[in-house]
Structure 1
């Protein structure tokens, strides 16, 4: 059975510096529109099949939610679908914004 790993902000930053990282945000549309990690794709039931067809299964995949709880089950699901390096961001978007990191809106 494939598994995901939890990743904190420091390790996430290092992962981004190493190369291509896929970033998916599973929060609701309004929260996503108000602010997200730059480059994040909002992943939901309506675009999941397309993401599965177009996703890079070899590239690291980081899942973000509100507080780092819901992203764990989503990360496990994606790992079970064949993504090789799947991570759940510890603390989620709350940790990201509290760190003072850049937030993309719109």
Structure 2
């Protein structure tokens, strides 16, 4: 069985530039306040729909606060059939410190 890989923000950035899907598993309020551009918010309510519509072979980078919860989420997604899954070490906090100009706020929907 395929397992997820742990990667630093620089590798996550490169994968994102190459078209990888970025998913953020932080709480909705924190995600809306600031997140990686193009990231999709995933929670218990949206994950089934995300999995149903996703390309299981497309690289997938999972982001959380500090890099811990994303490992559990990445392992779950591998178990759901995703073949190329990454957990970003350091989470959004390290991304924000590494790429301070590459964060956005959600617009009101």
Which interval holds the TM-score relative to the shorter structure? over 0.9
Secondary structure at 2:92 match in 1: helix
Q: What count of residue pairs does the alignment treat as equivalent?
A: 105
Shift of 1:101: 4.0
- 1:13 equivalent in structure 2: 13
Deviations 1:18-52 (A, max 9, x none): x3211100000110011000001100111111111
- Structure 1 pair 43–66 and aligned structure 2 pair: CA distance change class (3 A): same
When the two chains are superposed, the root-mean-square deviation of aligned CA atoms in Å is 1.1
| TM-score, structure 1 as length reference | 0.93
Whole-Å Cα distance in 1 between the matches of residues 103 and 4 of structure 2?
25
**1:88-103 map, 5 Å:** 88-99=87-98, 100-103=100-103
| TM-score, structure 2 as length reference | 0.91
Deviations 1:67-89 (A, max 9, x none): 00000010001011110100001
Moved over 3 A (4+): none
- 1:4 equivalent in structure 2: 4
**1:55-94 map, 5 Å:** 55-94=54-93
